[in-house]
Amino acid sequence: MLFFCFLYDQKRMVRNSKPVAGICSRCGGCASVADMETATRFCYVPIYRKSWRAIICTFCGALLKSYRHVC
Ligand SMILES: [Zn+2]
């Protein structure tokens, strides 16, 4: 199903974020709580969109913690 893979993609976006107490376990950078949005597209048409909240590193972008119950 190689053909399918070319048409299907998933994009992760940070809608907004604010600093939160904590440090990244990977690089020691500042952590921030972010409103994330995952858009799944098929043939460049968005078919599925999910909003969620996570704690990410502002420096390296590592996902430190995610909350599944948001929206
Ligand atoms: Zn980091």
Q: What is the largest CA-CA distance in the chain?
A: 44
The 10s digit of each residue's pLDDT in 15-44 is 999 999 999 999 999 999 999 999 999 888
Q: How far apart are CA 53 and CA 58, in angstroms?
A: 14
The token pair that represents 43 in the structure block: 């043939």
Ligand 1 mean position, distance from CA 49 (Å): 26
Owning domain of residue 46: 2-67
Q: Say what the pTM is.
A: 0.70
Confidence at residue 46, expressed as pLDDT on a 0 to 100 scale: 87
Ligand 1 mean position, distance from CA 20 (Å): 13
Ligand 1 mean position, distance from CA 16 (Å): 18
Confidence at residue 71, expressed as pLDDT on a 0 to 100 scale: 45
Confidence at residue 69, expressed as pLDDT on a 0 to 100 scale: 53
Phi, psi angles (nearest 5°) of residue 60: -105, -10
C-alpha closest to that of 35 among 20, 21, 22, 54: 54
- Per-chain mean pLDDT for the chain: 87
Confidence at residue 68, expressed as pLDDT on a 0 to 100 scale: 67
Which segments within 1-71 are labelled E, that is strand?
A: 8-23, 30-42, 45-57, 63-67
Confidence at residue 70, expressed as pLDDT on a 0 to 100 scale: 46
Ligand 1 mean position, distance from CA 62 (Å): 5
How many folded domains does the chain comprise? 1
Ligand 1 mean position, distance from CA 52 (Å): 20
